[in-house]
Amino acid sequence: MLQNDYTQPMQQHRNKLMTVGLHLFVAIVFVGFFAASCPSVHAAGYMYSDMWMDDSSPTGNYAIAGCGVTEGSYSDMHEYHVESRIASPNGRYMANDSGGYSPAYARADVWLSGDFADLGDYYISSDHWEFCIHGDGGEQNWMFAGSTFADLTISLKKTAEELVAENASKCQYNPTCFGRCTTGSRIATKEYPGPCPGRYVQCEVLYSGGICFPDIRVCAQQNAPGTCDP
C-alpha cells in the first residue's frame, strides 16, 4: 500500500515532464522553422563605399566618382538595397540609391564633376539595407545593415616646363625641374593660331590617391623657370 501510494505520484510527475518536454520540443521546432526561413538579421556578406578619380573623358574633363555596395548571396533568402551620398569640400553633393531591392547585389553610383576651385577632401557615405523574403510580414522584415564611408583627397602638384620647339599646331615643352608630377617632354596642341605662350610655363597637375593625372592640368606663362612640388 505504501509502495503504490508512492509510485502513483511519481508516474504523474513523469507524465507532466514528458508533456512539458514535448511542448518544448514543438516550440523549438517552430522557432527553428522561422530561423531557417530568415537565417540572420545581417546576411549581407560585403558592405562598402569606394571613391576614385574618373579621367576617362576624351575632352580632358574629370569627375570624382563613388559607389556604395551591399552584397550577399542568391541563396540566403534576402534582398539588398543601398543609398549613397557624395559631398565636396565646397558643399556640392549628389545622392542616389540602387533603385529597389535586388537579390545578391545592390549598387548605388554617385559622382561630381571636377572643379579646380573645389579641391580638398571628398566624402561618400552609404546606408545599407536588407529585406528578409521569407519573414512573417511587417516592419521587422526591413533591416538596416549598417553604414560605410570613404574619402578621397583631390589636390594640385606644381611642375615647371620650358618651350623647346613649336610648329603651326603644336608646342613642345621639357621640364625645368623634377618633382612628384614631373613628366618627360610634353607636346601640347595649340588652342588658337599663333605662337606658343611664352618660354616658361608653370603648371599644376591634378593629384589624388598617390597618382598624378598629367593630362588634367592648368598652366600659366611666366618670365622665369617655375618650381616643382616634391
Closest to 158 measured CA to CA, from 145, 144, 173, 177: 177
Question: Would 205 be classed as within a structural domain?
Answer: yes
The answer as to whether 40 is a domain residue is no
163 within some domain? yes
Helix and strand numbers, DSSP H then E, in the chain: 1, 12
Q: Is residue 139 part of a domain?
A: yes
Of 109, 133, 155, the domain-final residue = 155
Please tell me whether residue 9 adopts helix, strand or coil conformation.
helix
CB 34 within 8 A of CB 71: no
Q: What is the DSSP letter of 41?
A: S
Measured distance CA(169)–CA(187) in Å, rounded: 10
59 lies in a domain?
yes
Asked if residue 14 belongs to a domain, the reply is: no
- Is residue 110 in a domain? yes
Q: Give the alpha-carbon dihedral of 178, 179, 180, 183, to 10 degrees.
A: -30
Q: Whole-prediction pTM value? A: 0.74
pLDDT of residue 201: 95
Question: Of 133, 155, 177, which residue sits at a domain end?
Answer: 155
The pLDDT value recorded for residue 76 is 62
pLDDT at 132: 77
Query: Residue 20 domain-assigned?
Result: no
Q: Are residues 92 and 138 in the same domain?
A: yes
Answer with the one of 101, 126, 155 that is the final residue of a domain: 155
Amino acid type, 214: P
Q: Residues 151, 50: one domain?
A: yes
Regarding whether 172 and 150 lie in a shared domain, the answer is no
Element (H or E) spanning 123, and its range? Answer: strand 120-132
* Centroid of chain to Cα 100: 18
Q: Which domain holds residue 68?
A: 46-155
pLDDT tens over the chain, length 230 residues: 333 333 343 344 334 433 434 333 333 332 232 223 333 334 456 899 999 999 988 777 899 999 999 988 766 677 899 999 999 999 999 999 999 888 889 999 999 999 999 999 999 999 999 887 665 554 447 789 999 999 999 999 999 999 999 999 999 999 999 999 999 999 999 988 899 988 999 999 999 999 999 999 999 999 999 999 99
190 and 164 together in one domain? yes
Helix (H) or strand (E) holding 48: strand 46-54
pLDDT score recorded for residue 136: 55
Number of structural domains found in the chain: 2
